[in-house]
Amino acid sequence: MAAKASDMARPGTRATAADLRASGVTVQSPGDRFRGEILRTLEGLRKKGLDRAEAIRALFPRTVLPDRTYEDVVAGIVSGSHLLFFGPSGAGKTSLAKDLWGLFPKGVWVVDDCPVLDHPLSLVDRAAAERFPPCPICQRRFAPDSDPARFDPSSVDPARVPAEFLLLREGFGFARLQGSSEVFPDHLTGNINLRKLEEIGDPMSPLVLEPGKLLQANRGFLLVDEIGKLPLGTQNVLLQALQEGTVTPSKSRESFPGSFVAVCTSNLSDLDNINDPLSDRLTSLHVGYNDRHADNRQIVALGRPADPETYVPEILVDAGVRVVESWRLRMSDENPDIGEVGSNRTLLDVAARTAAIAAMDGRAIAASADLKSGLLHAMRGRIRARSGDSFRQNERRISEFVDQYLTPALKRSAGVYWCRYYRGPLRENSGEAESLVGEGRRLKDDAELRGKASGDPTLFPKFRSFAGYVGEREPAGAGPNPLDVAVGVFRLLEEFSLFSCREEDDDNAPL
Q: For the residues 336-342, what does the mean pLDDT come to?
A: 87
395 close to 383: Cβ distance less than 8 angstroms: yes
Q: For the residues 87-99, what does the mean pLDDT come to?
A: 92
Q: Are residues 253 and 308 in the same domain?
A: no
Q: Are residues 108 and 29 in the same domain?
A: yes
Q: Examine residue 335 and state whether it is found in any structural domain, yes or no.
A: yes
- Ordered DSSP codes for 15-82: EEHHHHHHHT-----HHHHHHHHHHHHHHHHHHTT--HHHHHHHT-TT----HHHHHHHHHHHHTT-E
Q: Examine residue 63 and state whether it is found in any structural domain, yes or no.
A: yes
Residue 386 has pLDDT above 80, yes or no: no
- Ordered DSSP codes for 165-208: EEE-EETBEEEEEE--TT--HHHHHEEE-HHHHHHH--TT-GGG
Q: Examine residue 501 and state whether it is found in any structural domain, yes or no.
A: no
Q: Are residues 176 and 278 in the same domain?
A: yes
454 close to 483: Cβ distance less than 8 angstroms: yes
Q: Rounded CA gap, 348 and 298, in Å?
A: 10
463/500: higher pLDDT: 463
Q: Examine residue 510 and state whether it is found in any structural domain, yes or no.
A: no
Q: Are residues 340 and 212 in the same domain?
A: no
> How many Cβ atoms sit within 10 Å of the Cβ of residue 493?
21
409 close to 322: Cβ distance less than 8 angstroms: yes
Q: Are residues 115 and 189 in the same domain?
A: yes
Q: Rounded CA gap, 116 and 143, in Å?
A: 18
Q: Examine residue 483 and state whether it is found in any structural domain, yes or no.
A: yes
Tell me how many domains the chain contains.
Answer: 2
Q: In the prediction, which pLDDT does 331 show?
A: 84
Which of 257, 285, 313 corresponds to the end of one domain?
Answer: 285
3-state helix, strand, coil in the chain (%, to 5): 55, 10, 35
Q: In the prediction, which pLDDT does 204 show?
A: 47
86/385: higher pLDDT: 86
Residue 206 has pLDDT above 60, yes or no: no
Residue 504 has pLDDT above 70, yes or no: no
Q: Are residues 70 and 117 in the same domain?
A: yes
Band of residue 4 on the pLDDT scale cut at 50, 70, 90: low
Which of 285, 315, 342 corresponds to the end of one domain?
Answer: 285
Q: In the prediction, which pLDDT does 474 show?
A: 80
274-315 residue pLDDT tens: 999 999 999 999 999 998 999 999 999 988 887 778 899 999
Of 396, 402, 370, the closest CA to residue 383 belongs to 396
Q: For the residues 195-219, what does the mean pLDDT come to?
A: 74
Q: Rounded CA gap, 421 and 429, in Å?
A: 11
Q: What is the DSSP letter of 365?
A: B
Which of 230, 265, 285 corresponds to the end of one domain?
Answer: 285
Of 165, 157, 125, 164, the closest CA to residue 141 belongs to 157
Strand-pair partners of 165: 109
Q: Examine residue 505 and state whether it is found in any structural domain, yes or no.
A: no
**Secondary structure class of 449 (helix, strand, coil):** helix
Band of residue 477 on the pLDDT scale cut at 50, 70, 90: low
2/153: higher pLDDT: 153
Domain hosting 162: range is 5-285
Q: Are residues 267 and 336 in the same domain?
A: no
Q: Are residues 449 and 479 in the same domain?
A: yes
Q: In the prediction, which pLDDT does 511 show?
A: 64
Q: Are residues 255 and 371 in the same domain?
A: no
Q: Tell me the angle at which helices 314-330 and 482-496 cross, rounded to the nearest 10 degrees.
A: 40
Residue 194 has pLDDT above 70, yes or no: no
Q: Are residues 371 and 281 in the same domain?
A: no
Strand-pair partners of 175: 222
Q: Are residues 139 and 276 in the same domain?
A: yes
Q: Indicate which CATH number applies to the domain containing 274.
A: 3.40.50.300
215 close to 256: Cβ distance less than 8 angstroms: yes
Q: Examine residue 223 and state whether it is found in any structural domain, yes or no.
A: yes
Q: Examine residue 476 and state whether it is found in any structural domain, yes or no.
A: yes
Residue 250 has pLDDT above 80, yes or no: no
Q: Are residues 350 and 491 in the same domain?
A: yes
